[in-house]
Each structure stands twice: as structure tokens, then as C-alpha cells.
Amino acid sequence: MLKESFKQALIDYMQARLKVAKDAASQAKSAATDSESAAETKWDTFGLENSYLAHGQSVRVAECQRDLRYFSALTLASMDSITQGSVFLLEREDGWRKVIVMAQYVGGGEFDYEQQSVLIVTPESPLGRSLLGKEEGEEVSLKSRGETLTGEVVTIFFQES
């Protein structure tokens, strides 16, 4: 796994999220300002609802812009233990395997890199809290659908040699 191409895939994912958010905000703004949205009676709230939606979408655009700035500036960690910026492979006893990025934002976000799905996890999430500070080969207790499973940190990528 190449550090530069991985980071570029992460930034490409953030840019794609931003584009979708901008498109949605533009559509919501158009709907809110369209003549069809003008209230015909005092009970007609279609225009007002569209303006609330447009505001919410503009907030989402601002969040996506923040996320893009964050990930553009993020240094992928080169530590022996999991910390913010770490990229690692986690495997559960039931065969589930996932490359994970530990980051401050976009928890639950997923993108593909070299035909593998990559999951973004925040340190504040239950999974993130259980993984912080773990090293390669360490086991971690994970909950999935109310069931407790054992997982292992198989590899931490980009470690200093």
C-alpha cells in the first residue's frame, strides 16, 4: 500500500462527497426560490420547507469543505500503535476484514482503494475507543449486532522502519 496514492484516494473521496453536497444544495436552493414554491395559502408551507432544506444542505457543504481541508492536511501516522491518522487492517474472528483510517471526522465513511473497502472511524466512536493505542497482533473486543466478537489488528500500514 503506497502512502501517497492512499492519501490521494482519501482526498478524492472527500472531493466526491463535497461535489454531491454542492449539487444537493444547489437543487434545494433552486426549489426554494422557484415560483412553484410560492405559498398560495397560509397553510402552504412547501416554499418554507424547501428553504429549510436549502439551509441544511448549505451547512452540509460547509462540513464537507471542513472535512476536505482536514484530510488534505492530515499526516498519515507512522507509529507502532493506533493513533489519529493511522491506517490499519482489522480482522474479526467471523472473517470480517476491513482497512480502517482513524480520523477526527467522517466516521462511518467508506471508500474503495485498490479493490478494498476502507472505513473511516473516529476516536470517539465505540470502535475507535477500543482501537486507540493498540499495536499489530493485539486483540480487541468488538461488539457487532449485540454480540461480542474478538478482532485482531493484523497490520498497521506506513510504520517507520
pLDDT at 38: 61
Chain position carrying cell 462511518? 108
Q: Which residue has the higher pLDDT, 82 or 33?
A: 82
- Conformation bin of residue 95: beta by default, left when phi > 0, alpha when psi is -120 to 50: left
The reported pTM is 0.84
Mean pLDDT of 49-64: 90
The H or E element spanning position 25 is: helix 3-33
In this prediction, residue 46 carries a pLDDT of 60
- CA–CA distance, 51 with 16 (Å, rounded to integer): 24
